[in-house]
Structures are given as structure tokens and as C-alpha cells.
Structure 1
Amino acid sequence: MSDSSRDTAEGAGWGATELGTYKRLMPTEVEKISWLDPRMLWAARNGVLASWFGDPTGRTRSRWVAQRAASGVPADKVIRRDDPDRFSFLVIGDTGEGDDPQYSVVPGFLKTGQDTRFAVLASDVIYPVGSADDYGTKFFRPYQDYQAPIYAIPGNHDWYEDLGAFMRVFCGDAPPLAPQPPPRVLSKAWLQKLLWHKPRRGDGQRLDATRRLRSAAAQQAVQPGPYWAIDAGPVRIIGIDTGLLGTLDAEQGAWLREVSQGPRPKILITGSPLYVDGAHHPCAIEGGGTVDDIVRDPAHRYVAAIGGDIHNYQRYPVQVDGRTIQYVVSGGGGAFMHATHTIPRVDIANVTEKDFRCYPLRGDSLAFYSKLYGRRLRLRRFFTLTEAEASAVVAERLEMPLTRAQQKTARITWRIRLVAGLLGAGRRPDRAARLRLPVRKIYTSLFSPSSATYSPPFFKQFLRLDVTPETVRLRCYAATGSHAQELDPPVEDEVTIPLV
């Protein structure tokens, strides 16, 4: 097994000597998404409109579900597979930007997943707005050689065009929804509809042609809707759709409570992680209660909850009534990297830094962003930190030991401390933190999507879960863009979850 980032800097992808073969998989021309482009921001406006005028996701989702029910989909929305008691599957989140970082994951994904029974895409299948004609280069092409079905739950970006393309691809080529009666002129609903982003005319004309890239019988799967359950071997995997704003409508909430019943061990897949960045986000359900209430109920026997949306890997082993539930963030499948160095020292739900895991390591995240800012601001000599310097200052600010096993402590100068403070490392309330550059809230919403780089290391990841009647072994595999790690993807984290 190759070194991981926890072993050496080379294991993190720093100083890679040979670029991976992923570029051979890419189209000759790649559209690079820039969220600094006003046209891109305007196209992706529906999330903002939903927060201003009210979220229509629940009503639209109910119409999709009703349409699928009319076509004969079982009311329980459970996919009953014939997997044996021992099998494996993959989970990959937030994939679809169609550029180097997404394609860099593919060789390791295929190698690690060659004996798996299926894969699950957890959130944001297609950026920027879930358009049908983007599925060719951002879904069918990259995963054309994965010889098993792929199921998916939508993320907020897939909802920016009211989920039409997602339903066509994953839900039996569902036809468009029937038009709704127009709202009263000058009403709040009328203004929202007037401003609402809609698919461009003619979108989807290339979809039938690109479907051929995944046309083998072994690759086919039709799911009952945007949320579903899969009975696979000894476990039930439940995928929920958290829409534009990260919540559940009452109808889906009632279904979730129903399919969570029974003694079968369960794994939740959600577009909105329940623990992330050192904070708890239980995910509200319309009408009362939360998703995490359902997950924590011992009668439901959840053993893990895996969420996308945040573009890195995090794991929180939370003790609940004498048992451990693994809360996982897995959104590093291809989109721009969300920083981990801004995560404060973890102390939540009795999970401490000793128990917490993340990828990229905080030091690698800080080094990545220091290089990014140095390049963008043309202040490379000031901002750029080596991985050793970044790891040392993060350890100092969070008062924890160095994470990398074979690393010597670098000398920490005033410049290193200042850069770490400006870039939000550890979020300590010091003078530099008050001057902090926008790496978190403003940066996440506007500038962080532009942190995508097109040369290694990329710090991408995916999960493999190996299921037996007694356990689920969860492993987080890294994809850095280097050739050596394509051939032997490093394991960044591993945990064995008991089912009995």
C-alpha cells in the first residue's frame, strides 16, 4: 500500500514527479467554471431566490414523486437488489465540474471499484446548474468504464433547473413536469417565478448520444425518485434529497421515518452532512423533528450517516446511547476544495481531535491555500508556505501534535504566523484573524469555487465500503493527480463499523 498524507509529504501528492494518466480520459476542450463570472452567478441564482422568497423545492419534489408513482414506482421507494451477504460499493460526492480535479479521481475510482456491486453519487452530480447537456462530459464520459450501476441523490446545484435533467438520467427518463397555473401578478410568487432560472431552450439534445457511453446492461439502474432506499445484502442504504436549502419536506420526512423502521442496519446518504466543520447540523424536517433525530433513534439501527456538499473528507465517531454512529463528510469527488485548515479544534458530541479525521490534513489545506493566494495576489514570496511550515503553524494554533508521521517541526516565523492568521487557520481570535482574508463564509460562497487548480496535488477522495453480516469497513481513498497514486490509491482513513 502506498504512503498516505499521514505518512509523508510525498504521500499527500507534494512534489509528484509523474502526472497521472487521467488527462487521456478528458475531452480535448474543457469548460472551466469560474464563480467570479457574473454570468455564472446569475445562472446559479435559484438558491438565493429560495432563501429570499421561500423554498419551492418541497412542492416541486412532491410533483416529481407523484409523477413517478403514477408510472408504477413502488410506494416504499425501496430498490431490492440481489447482492450477497458480503459485497462492496463506492460513494463519491460533488463530482461534476468536468475538469482536471474530477477526472483525476477516475483511475483510482475504477481500480479500487472494479469488484464493487454499485456506486452512489452523493450530492451535486452536475455543476453549475445541473443542465442535461452537461451530463456528457461530467457524468457519462468520466464513469463510462465503471461496469456497475450508479445511483444518485441530488445536491443544490442539481436543483438549479428544478431537477429535470437529474430525473431524466437517473429516474427512467422521467418526462418534464406539467406547467403550473401562473401566480397572481405582482405577488411574491410571481416575482420569484419571473426571476427563477430555467433550462435554456433545447437543453438535452445531446443527452441520448452521450447515454451510449454507459449503455451496457451491467451499468443500468432506474431509481424511484430523487430519494430512495436500497436493500443490499444485510444493510439498507437510504438516500435523501435535501434540495436547495438543506432541509426535508414533510412528505419525504414521513417516508424517511417509515423506511427507517425495522432491525436491518442502515446507512444514510445525504446531500447535507449532519456533522461538519466541528458543528452539528441536524437537518430540519418540515412540520417538526430532524433527520438526526431519526438517525439517533436506537430502534432504527443507523450505523453511519454520509453527506456530500462540503468538498473534503471528515469523520466524527459520535457516541449515542452506548453505540457509535459514524458521521462522515465525503464531498471530495471532483469539485473545488473546501478548506480544512479553517476547522477549529474539534470538541463536539464528545468527539475530540484525537477521534476526528479529515482529508486533506489541515496543514496541507493551509499550504494549498497559501500557494493559491500567493499566485492570485502576486505575492508568492510572502504568502506561500511549505507543507512543513503550514503543518507546524496549524499544530501550534490548535495546540495539537503534528499529524504527519515522518515530519520534523519547521521553524515558525512571524510571517508564517501572520499568513496562517490571514488565511483563517484554526480560527484563533488573534489580531491576524481579525484581518483574515475571506477563506470561509464570503470566500466559500464567491471565491472558494475558484480555488480549483489544474495541477497536482488535488486532494480529492472517494469511499469504498465493504459489507459483511458482521461489519462495514469504510475506507477513504485519496486522488492527488500523481501517476503512482493512480496505480495504488492511498488510504487516508479507515474504520470498521460493527453491525451486530
Structure 2
Amino acid sequence: MPHSSRDTPEGAGWGNSQLGTYKSLMPARVEKLSWLNPRTLWAARNGVLASWFGDPTGRTRSRWVEQAVAAGAPPDAIVRRTDADHFSFMVIGDTGEGDDPQYAVIPGFLKVSQGTDFAVLASDVIYPVGSTDDYGTKFFRPYQNYPAPIYAIPGNHDWYEGLQGFMRVFCGAPPAAPAARPRPLTRAWLRSLLWHAPGSTDEHRLAQARALRSEPSQQAVQPGPYWAVDAGPIRIIGIDTGLLGTLDAEQGRWLREVSRGDRRKILVTGSPLYVDGEHHPCAIEGGGTVDAIVRDPENHYVAAIGGDIHNYQRYPVRVSGGRTIQYVVAGGGGAFMHATHTVPRVSVAGVTEHDFRCYPLRGDSLAFYSRLYGHRLRMPRFFTLTEAEALAVVAERLGVPPVRAQGEAVRVTRRIRLVASLLGAGRRPDRKARFRLPVRKLYTQLFSPGSATYSPPFFKCFLRLDVTPAAIRLRCHSATGTLDHELDPPVEDEVTIPLS
């Protein structure tokens, strides 16, 4: 087994490793997505408008579902596959920036996915606004050589054009009829004045893109933006959390219905239920939460996998009846990296730092961001930390031993501590927060780190799940952009989930 980031710096992708072959897969011209561009921010305005003037995605989703059922989709939105009791599938989240970090995942993904029966994309298939015209370079081209079907759930970015591209590609739906005009001088009317509407589709361009995944073995038409897949001994349920990370009442009723029964279940969601050391149960319109459904022993969930946050995290939460549910964040499939070094020492729902897993390691995340800020602020000598310095100061701030064995001991200096504090490195819960730069919320919304990282390591990841009647083996593989990791993608985390 190759070294992972938990073993050596080279396993994390640091050093002078040979560049991978992923660039040969990319189109000749690649648009470098920047969240500093006013045009990008303006096109992605619908999430802000929904939070100000009310969220219309529930009604829009209902129209899409009605249209799909009228066209022949199963009313219960369940895909019934004929997989054997032993089968495998892939999960990869937040993929579609269409640049180096996304394509760097592909060689390792294709290597690890050999023999799998299908794949699931968890949230944000296309950035920045889910446009149909972007699917060629951000979906069909990257995954053209994956021989099996791909199912998907939308993220908030796929909703910025009313889910038009997503429904067209994954559900075979024609453009939806326009919604009724709202009454003047209402909140909905004010929202409609500024709302970003879907653009027209270049049909020739879409047909050319579809040709890249045209083999019969690659085809699957899913019943809508939310669905369930019965495969072997398990049911995989994908939910659509829309623009604001919640469920409408109609989808909530459906989720309660398809969650019943003895079949073991895995939830795939665009809004993770545990992330960054916090619990986000996901509200359902009209009452209740998604996590209450997942925890209900009558529903037999064994895992909940969420996208949206662009890294890997795992929380094994013990619930009633002595069961353990694996709550996983798996959004590292291609978009810019969200920091892990800002995650405080974990103590949530009985999960401790000893149980918690993340990728990239907090020290590697801090080293990455220190280089990024050093470049952005033109202060590389002050901000830049070596991976060993970053690992040591994170361990000191959390009060835990370093995850990766060090060579020579690192002396943590006043400068190192100051940089770690400014960049929000994880702290112990009993310590008060001080001033820090906006490494999570503001920075990652406005300054996409992907725009500054077109050379390894990228710290991307994807999951492979191998299912038998007795258990599911879940493995998180890394993708750094180096050749050795393309040839043999390291395993960053592995857990066996019993089904008995």
C-alpha cells in the first residue's frame, strides 16, 4: 500500500514528485474560475436573494418532479437495479470547476473505480451556476472513460440556473415551463426583479458533449433531483437540499416514506449533517429534521455522506440501540479546498479527537493556506510554514500528538504561533478565539484557493464503497496531482460498516 499523508510528507504530495498525466486529459483552453470576478459573483446571486426574499426552490422542485412523473419516471423516485449482493460504487463530491484540481482527480478515480457498478456525484456538479453549456468540459469530458452509470444530487450551484442543466443531463427533462408571475410589490416580486434566469442552451454543443459518454453501459436516467437506488442489500437515498440547505415539505414526506423498512440505507446529501466539529441536522419544512430520520432505529441507516464542504471528514456517531452511524463529508472531488486546520478539537455527539478523521490533515491544510496567504499578501517569508512546522503548531494548539511521525523535533517559534493564530488553526474548546484572517467563510467564498493552486499538491479525494451482505468497506482515496498517486492512489481513511 502506498504511503498516505498520515505516514510521510511525500505521501501528502509535498516534495519534488513528478507531475501526473492529468493535464493530457484537459481541454486546450481552460477557464480559470475566480470568485473575485464581479460577473461570477453576480451570476451566483440567487442564494443571497433566496435568503433575503424567500426561497422558491421547493415550488420549482415540485414542478420538475411533476414533469418527470408525467414523462414516465417512477412516482416513488426509486431506481431498482439488479446488482448482486456483492457490488461496489464510487462517491465523489463538488467536482465541477473544470480546471486542474478537478482533472487531477480523474486518473486515480479511474484506477480505483475499476470493477465498480456505478458512481454518485454528491453536490455541485457544475460551477459556478450549473449552466447546461458547462457540462461538456466539467462532466462529460472528465468522466468519459468511466464505463458505468453516474447518478447525482444537485448542490446550491446547480440551482443557480433553476436546475435546468442538471435536469436536462441526469433526468432527460426538457426545459421547464416558466413559473407564474408573482403579484406586484410582494417579496417574490422583488426577488424576481433580480433573479438570475437560465440561459439558452447550445443544442449542438450539448449533443457533442453527450457523445463522450454514449456507451450503453454508461446510461442511467434518474427520476428527479432526489431519488433512491436499490442496489444489492442496501438502499442509497439522495436528497436535494436546494439553495439554502433545507428540505421542502413534499421531499420530507418522500424521505420519510423511502426510509422505512429493514433494508440498510446510506444517505447522500448536499448539506453534511456533521461537519467542522458541529451538528447540522438539516431542517424539513413543516417540522422535523433529516438527521432525526437518519437516527430513527426503524429506518436502519448506517451512513450519511454529504458534499458542499470541499474536504473529507468522518464522525462515527453512536446512536440509540448501540448502533454507530458513519457521518462523512466527501466534497473534495475537484473544487477549491476548504481548510481543515480551522476545525477545533473535536468533541461532538460523543465523537472525540481520537475518533475523528479528516483529509487533508490539519497541518497540511495550514501549510497550504500559509503559502496561499504569503502569495496573496506578498509576505511569503512571514506567512509560509513548512509542513513540519504546521503539523507541530496544530498539535500544540489542539493538545494532541502530531498525526504524522516527525523526523527531527520542530521548535515552535513565536512567528509560527502567530501565523497559526492568524490563519485560524484549530484550537481547544476551552480557549477563546482571537483575531484571525477569514480563512473559512469570507475567504473561501470570495478568493477561491483553486485559482492560485495549479500545481500539486491539490488535496482532493473520492470514496470507494464495497458492499457485501455482511458489511460495507468505505475507503477514502487521495488525489494530489502527482504521478505516483495517479498510479496508486493512497488510502487516507478506511472503515468497515457492519450490516448485520
TM class, shorter-length: over 0.9
Aligned partner of 1:109 in structure 2 is 109
TM-score calculated relative to the size of structure 1: 0.98
In the TM superposition, residue 430 of structure 1 has moved relative to its aligned partner by: 11
Distance across 2 between alignment mates of 1:337 and 1:396 = 23
Distance across 2 between alignment mates of 1:354 and 1:133 = 45
1:75 partnered with 2:84: no
Q: Give CA-to-partner distance per residue, 1:141-172, whole Å, 9 cap, x none.
A: 00000000000000000000000010000002
CA distance 1:358–1:451, change in 2 (3 Å): farther
User: Is the partner of 2:291 in helix, strand or coil?
Assistant: helix
Q: Give CA-to-partner distance per residue, 1:287-311, whole Å, 9 cap, x none.
A: 0000000000001000000000000
CA distance 1:448–1:312, change in 2 (3 Å): same
User: Is the partner of 1:101 in helix, strand or coil?
Assistant: helix
In the TM superposition, residue 440 of structure 1 has moved relative to its aligned partner by: 1.9
In the TM superposition, residue 441 of structure 1 has moved relative to its aligned partner by: 2.1
In the TM superposition, residue 186 of structure 1 has moved relative to its aligned partner by: 2.8
Aligned partner of 1:422 in structure 2 is 422
Aligned partner of 1:272 in structure 2 is 271
Structure 2 gap ranges (5+): none
In the TM superposition, residue 73 of structure 1 has moved relative to its aligned partner by: 1.3
**Are the counterparts in 1 of residues 101 and 450 from structure 2 also a CA contact under 8 Å?**
no
Identity rate, percent: 78
Aligned partner of 2:205 in structure 1 is 206
User: Is the partner of 2:174 in helix, strand or coil?
Assistant: coil
CA RMSD of aligned residues (A): 1.5
In the TM superposition, residue 431 of structure 1 has moved relative to its aligned partner by: 11
Equivalent runs, 1:450-461 vs 2, <5 Å:
452-461=452-461
1:350 partnered with 2:350: yes
Distance across 2 between alignment mates of 1:299 and 1:408 = 53
Aligned partner of 1:258 in structure 2 is 257
Aligned partner of 2:123 in structure 1 is 123
CA distance 1:425–1:83, change in 2 (3 Å): same
Distance across 1 between alignment mates of 2:452 and 2:76 = 40
Aligned partner of 2:436 in structure 1 is 436
Distance across 1 between alignment mates of 2:276 and 2:360 = 13
The letter for the 2-side match of 1:246 is: G
User: Is the partner of 2:41 in helix, strand or coil?
Assistant: helix
Q: Give CA-to-partner distance per residue, 1:444-488, whole Å, 9 cap, x none.
A: 322245565100000000000000000000000000000001000
The letter for the 2-side match of 1:271 is: G
Q: Give CA-to-partner distance per residue, 1:243-280, whole Å, 9 cap, x none.
A: 00000000000000000010000000000000000000
Distance across 2 between alignment mates of 1:486 and 1:134 = 26
Distance across 2 between alignment mates of 1:357 and 1:450 = 23
Distance across 1 between alignment mates of 2:392 and 2:498 = 36
Equivalent runs, 1:142-291 vs 2, <5 Å:
142-172=142-172, 174-203=173-202, 205-291=204-290
TM-score calculated relative to the size of structure 2: 0.98
User: Is the partner of 1:358 in helix, strand or coil?
Assistant: strand
CA distance 1:457–1:450, change in 2 (3 Å): closer
In the TM superposition, residue 177 of structure 1 has moved relative to its aligned partner by: 1.3
User: Is the partner of 1:336 in helix, strand or coil?
Assistant: coil
The letter for the 1-side match of 2:316 is: P
- Paired residues in the alignment total 499
**Are the counterparts in 2 of residues 133 and 205 from structure 1 also a CA contact under 8 Å?**
no
**Are the counterparts in 2 of residues 36 and 450 from structure 1 also a CA contact under 8 Å?**
no
The letter for the 2-side match of 1:136 is: G
CA distance 1:89–1:429, change in 2 (3 Å): closer
* Segment of structure 1 superposing worse, 404-413 or 52-61: 404-413
**Are the counterparts in 1 of residues 272 and 308 from structure 2 also a CA contact under 8 Å?**
yes
In the TM superposition, residue 200 of structure 1 has moved relative to its aligned partner by: 2.5
In the TM superposition, residue 199 of structure 1 has moved relative to its aligned partner by: 2.1
**Are the counterparts in 2 of residues 421 and 428 from structure 1 also a CA contact under 8 Å?**
no
Distance across 2 between alignment mates of 1:407 and 1:260 = 50
Q: Give CA-to-partner distance per residue, 1:401-458, whole Å, 9 cap, x none.
A: 1001355431100000000000000146999953311112221322245565100000
Distance across 2 between alignment mates of 1:313 and 1:42 = 29
CA distance 1:471–1:429, change in 2 (3 Å): closer
Aligned partner of 2:375 in structure 1 is 375
Distance across 1 between alignment mates of 2:202 and 2:406 = 52
In the TM superposition, residue 203 of structure 1 has moved relative to its aligned partner by: 4.8
Aligned partner of 2:299 in structure 1 is 300
Distance across 2 between alignment mates of 1:481 and 1:460 = 9
The letter for the 1-side match of 2:402 is: L
> Where has structure 1 moved over 3 Å in runs of 4 or more?
201-205, 405-409, 427-433, 448-452
**Are the counterparts in 2 of residues 79 and 228 from structure 1 also a CA contact under 8 Å?**
yes
Distance across 1 between alignment mates of 2:51 and 2:401 = 41
Distance across 2 between alignment mates of 1:464 and 1:181 = 43
User: Is the partner of 1:221 in helix, strand or coil?
Assistant: coil
In the TM superposition, residue 209 of structure 1 has moved relative to its aligned partner by: 1.1
**Are the counterparts in 2 of residues 123 and 153 from structure 1 also a CA contact under 8 Å?**
yes
